[in-house]
Structure 1
Amino acid sequence: MTIELPTREIGLPIPNISHAVSVSLPTWEATVGYEENQEWVVNKMNSGYPRFFIHERIKELSLLLEQKYGRQGEKSFIFPSYKVAKRCRNFIKEQSENKNLKCSSIRILQLSTKAPQNKNEESVIVETNIAVLFFPEDEYKYAKQYWQHSGEGISSRQGEYCLRELSLEFSKEEEAIFGQEEEKDKDKDNDNDNQEENKFIEERFGRNLDLSFAKEANSILRKRISAQINEIIESEKKFSKNIEVKDEEFISENEVYLYSSGMASIFHAHQAILNCYPQGKSICFGFPYVDTLSILRKFGPGVLFYGFGDDKSLDEMEDKLDKGEIKIMALFCECPSNPLLKMPDLKRIKKLAKKHDFLVVADETVGNFLNIHILSFVDICVSSLTKIFSGDSNVMAGSLVLNPAGDNYLRLKKYFEENYENNFWCEDCIYLERNSRNFKERNFNMNKNAESIVELLKEDELIKEIYYPNLVESKRYYEEFRTYSGGYGGLVSIIFKKSEDAKKFFNEVELFKGPSLGTNFSLACPYSILAHYQELDEIEKWGVDRNLVRISIGLEDKEELISRFERALEITRKVSATK
């Protein structure tokens, strides 16, 4: 893959398409400006990471529905089902009550788009339901928190589809009343122009969608995930003595559940445990991605945070469990963690879980199931399919996989059979199926590219520390779960000796810069600034440097990628020497 010249424009989507997952924050200063809500940055933000930035089509749909159905002083959020909207309503009420505020009326309106009328329409029309949550404007922040933490909001493609369909429907209602035929023809012409433009773009990139294939795509995705996990299990049985696996650990597509985002899969793992087991606090083991901790803090009885996620933390946890000082229902961890790439001692955690009767949920987004096989040692394995499984950075998705050989399997399976809602939007499903066809090849190449960059960085005098699974102290635990053909992933975090060197390097390195990881193109961000700007002192207590630079290595030509890193390091070195 030839390396692209990254955009230097603030706020442009990455890649430059309407449903991109990442957004350009090309300098350290722009990232700070974004976090501080400075006008020179936020006024240029035409896009953003979907759980944090409401897509323009979704905003338009909300405005349309507020104008048609809203009351004075109300705002709205749109969800893919009544159950999701109800959970958001309950969250808003709980947050208001916790602040001793009077919770005003919150309404849920259910709407449907039309169903296809014949076979021909099935390729372009799908009946879909949405639930619109109306609430007083002063409770907007709580609704937005639910949208961000749970990852359950409608996707930008679903918003775009519903906007088009409902706009047409509402226009017809008005035309029937006012007889505005001229406006109808004008709108029809505009709609045709937009459809032709979209059709051209789709066909130009071989991405024309046939919505009638959505159910098939959903099944293919679940079979693909289960088949690839089973291939790993089979290869470990044949070629490796590293990971002990049993025949009952083979999974079917029925153990795989798809969600509209990685956070939604974590959220529903937590919801399942809350509903299936006696409620108690959870443990967050290791410093996690920010919203994982938010879910554990804000939903249910709360969380005990063991932020270092090391052997000493495990000793302390075990001691308190043995003495009865704490009783927990679940332990959540990342394998390895983002951004410090630490791997927990899962084998010891599993023994403790069995002894003290709690569940283990592991997020393997960063490691991914081709590089590490952890399912045997957890009850639930979750992942953001938005990342390397997709690679194209144009669709949000998540997966939740049950361990069929786990002690808690039957109870969890019963819960999901009775409560799982497939809210994964059909167009997103089709995109993800296409994107993930070459997942194994891309994973192999990303591993190799990342290892080459790590070797380069290891030799540079500017750098104080590199976080990568085969360099950190917990390497031995990663190796216990690394598959026969697996590597160490594409994520690298680096700390410079001087904070100014970190900023200079970041500004100079010719890579795309913005949130997300696992993209086919390399992507960098000043992670602590972007994810924890309001708590930089706090995260440093857990070993996360405020000037940490996180880089997700992509599929570019290795030599050209190395050259770009060398150039940025050389410029940084020269500037640093003059200070």
Structure 2
Amino acid sequence: MRDFIRQPAFSEEDLGVPLPDSPHACSVCLPTWSSVVGYEEGRQKILRRLKAGYPRFIRNPIVERVTLRAAEELCGDGETAYLFPTKSAAQRAQRWIERRSKLAVRSSGFDGFQAVIVPQAAATVAWEYQRFTGEIISSRMAEDWLNGGLRTGSKLGLLKRRLAKIYGTGSEQVSVFGNGMAAITALLRSLPGVAEGRRTLQLEFPYVDSLKLQERFGNGVVFLNETEGESFEEALQRIVRGEFAAVFTEVPTNPLLRCVDLERVSVACREGGTPLIVDDSAVGPHNVRVLPLADAVTFSLTKWLSGVGDVMGGGVVVREDSEFADDLIASLDRESTETGPLYLGDVQALLANMKGYPARLKGANDSARDLAALLASHPAVAEVWHPSRTTTERYDRIRHPDGGYGALLSFALKSARRAPRVFDALEVTKGPSFGTRFTLACPYTLLAHYRELDWAEGCGVPRHLIRVSVGEEDPRELHQRFEDALRVG
């Protein structure tokens, strides 16, 4: 098994290699700028070499095998199948796909799974549903099915207790889902204001699918890109007036690593009776402590909490004394059951991966802070985004007493034309996602916003931005690799 800390995947021959070296890998190597463009444009010479991918975007090969079995049994001419873990999840997907596509869709049981059968003309809509909601079957479920049958039993209570300890709350406040987007989807459905038809408010530039989820599965979203000046003051007043079903934000944001003034937003939300939803996935709960200010915190288990990148998971923790606590917890419990509880094999993998958290973050935190400083001082670099340099005063007010500034950073060069050469010359593992123990770099804006680059750039996210998730490599060696790439490029 390849150790990507000692043997990073960065060359053309690494294109398509699973990251990590596992059948359950949640990322894939895209080693060059052109390979990222080819992936986004759907070029077959790139796609056919991919042996893995982020599971909401590229179906895991094991899941694909089970899906093809279902299609052989259930599909007619011109139809394709999408698998879900529960009947409720499949029926909900069926209704949504029919509304969006205006085509008839059917669902059917398939040996422990539920299949939604759609005409080929509705395949893109079905794919979008699974991408945005995260309601998919896991590769470990598919693997066990192929090996003779799904396992029963659960260690979910143990995982919830472990997470509750990290967040400093009771396990009854924690709900766990198949991935981070499934957790956010469940929470969005649980908000009373959404059922009443109100829009949500997004503060600061978020991860792409978080915003699109509110647009497509809520009642629309008001988006405030930068929380400064008169626009922010006006937003606070609208919150106080109770205009929104909820306020969403990330601390810090991905990829600009900015923080809203969370204390002021929290006060406004409490005055307006508006739930405040905060996502801490970019740095993890060891580095920031936001639950006292939020009504609910969403998080990815795939990233820093796992650290390996070979299992999907996500969750929500509700503040015990929130005025919305009882309703949210009851609804999230129902959502978890209907969507499908995190599979036993995935729970076991997460429990094993979480050992050593948060101690393993310290070195990566320090290395990233130093790399951010190195890049900021380099004459070829225009800007660096990292909490140690970006809205630092706001971040410090929510920083965990034992935490740091996180191991995720972004940077942009003064010359956009040099970015592809620098990226191609960079000898670290390259692919989407973050939070692995090995460093992982990608041209984030190309991957997340390829078809809306002008819009992203208008929001302050350069199209040539490079995001870096710093791992456990020797800091001196890692930093030298960046210096070498900047020199070569």
- TM-score, with length taken from structure 2: 0.94
Give the corresponding residue for 1:151.
134
For residue 551 of structure 1, the aligned residue among 468, 473, 477 is 468
The 2-side partners of 1:275 and 1:494 are apart by 38
Whether contact under 8 Å (2:15, 2:49) holds in the other structure is yes
Structure 1 residues not aligned, in runs of 5+: 97-101, 113-128, 167-209, 231-250, 573-579
The 2-side partners of 1:89 and 1:220 are apart by 33
Which range is displaced more, 27-36 or 1-10?
A: 1-10
The 2-side partners of 1:132 and 1:94 are apart by 18
Give the aligned residue type for 1:6: A
The 1-side partners of 2:306 and 2:24 are apart by 13
Which range is displaced more, 150-159 or 54-63?
A: 54-63
Whether contact under 8 Å (1:276, 1:412) holds in the other structure is no
Give the aligned residue type for 1:342: R
- CA displacement, residues 474-494 of structure 1 (integer Å, 9 cap, x when unaligned): 211111111111100000100
The Cα shift of 1:495 comes to 1.0
Matches within 5 A, 1:32-51: 32-51=37-56
The Cα shift of 1:419 comes to 4.2
Give the aligned residue type for 2:137: I
For residue 210 of structure 2, the aligned residue among 262, 277, 292 is 292
Give the aligned residue type for 1:131: Q
The Cα shift of 1:437 comes to 0.8
For residue 215 of structure 1, the aligned residue among 154, 157, 160 is 154
- The alignment status of 1:25 with 2:24, answered yes or no, reads no
Matches within 5 A, 1:423-572: 423-472=341-390, 474-572=391-489
Whether contact under 8 Å (2:74, 2:117) holds in the other structure is no
Aligned length: 482
Secondary structure class of the residue paired with 1:470: coil
Secondary structure class of the residue paired with 2:51: coil
Give the corresponding residue for 2:94.
89
Secondary structure class of the residue paired with 2:357: helix
The Cα shift of 1:418 comes to 4.2
The 2-side partners of 1:442 and 1:468 are apart by 19
Give the aligned residue type for 1:338: N
The 2-side partners of 1:417 and 1:534 are apart by 36
Give the aligned residue type for 1:483: H
Give the corresponding residue for 1:227.
165
Paired-residue identity, %: 30
- CA displacement, residues 407-451 of structure 1 (integer Å, 9 cap, x when unaligned): 211221232344431521111111111000111111112111111
The Cα shift of 1:523 comes to 0.3
Which range is displaced more, 335-344 or 51-60?
A: 51-60
| Counterparts in 2 of 1:162 and 1:50: CA distance versus 1, 3 Å | same
Matches within 5 A, 1:75-474: 75-96=80-101, 102-104=102-104, 106-112=105-111, 129-165=112-148, 215-216=154-155, 218-230=156-168, 251-274=169-192, 278-320=196-238, 327-421=243-337, 422-472=340-390, 474=391
The 2-side partners of 1:53 and 1:274 are apart by 33
| Counterparts in 2 of 1:229 and 1:163: CA distance versus 1, 3 Å | same
The 1-side partners of 2:436 and 2:171 are apart by 25
| Counterparts in 2 of 1:76 and 1:562: CA distance versus 1, 3 Å | same
The 2-side partners of 1:156 and 1:52 are apart by 14
- CA displacement, residues 542-563 of structure 1 (integer Å, 9 cap, x when unaligned): 1111110000000111222122
Matches within 5 A, 1:59-70: 59-70=64-75
- CA displacement, residues 271-306 of structure 1 (integer Å, 9 cap, x when unaligned): 111588633100111111111011100112111111
- TM-score, with length taken from structure 1: 0.80
- The alignment status of 1:6 with 2:9, answered yes or no, reads yes
- CA displacement, residues 33-52 of structure 1 (integer Å, 9 cap, x when unaligned): 11112232122222211100
Structure 2 residues not aligned, in runs of 5+: none
Give the aligned residue type for 1:227: K
The 1-side partners of 2:439 and 2:90 are apart by 36
Give the aligned residue type for 2:28: V
Whether contact under 8 Å (2:283, 2:304) holds in the other structure is no
Whether contact under 8 Å (1:285, 1:332) holds in the other structure is yes
Give the aligned residue type for 1:162: W
The 2-side partners of 1:312 and 1:369 are apart by 31
The 1-side partners of 2:336 and 2:193 are apart by 13
Whether contact under 8 Å (2:203, 2:223) holds in the other structure is yes
Whether contact under 8 Å (1:3, 1:560) holds in the other structure is no
| Counterparts in 2 of 1:84 and 1:526: CA distance versus 1, 3 Å | same
The Cα shift of 1:228 comes to 1.9
- CA displacement, residues 497-524 of structure 1 (integer Å, 9 cap, x when unaligned): 0012222221111111110011100000
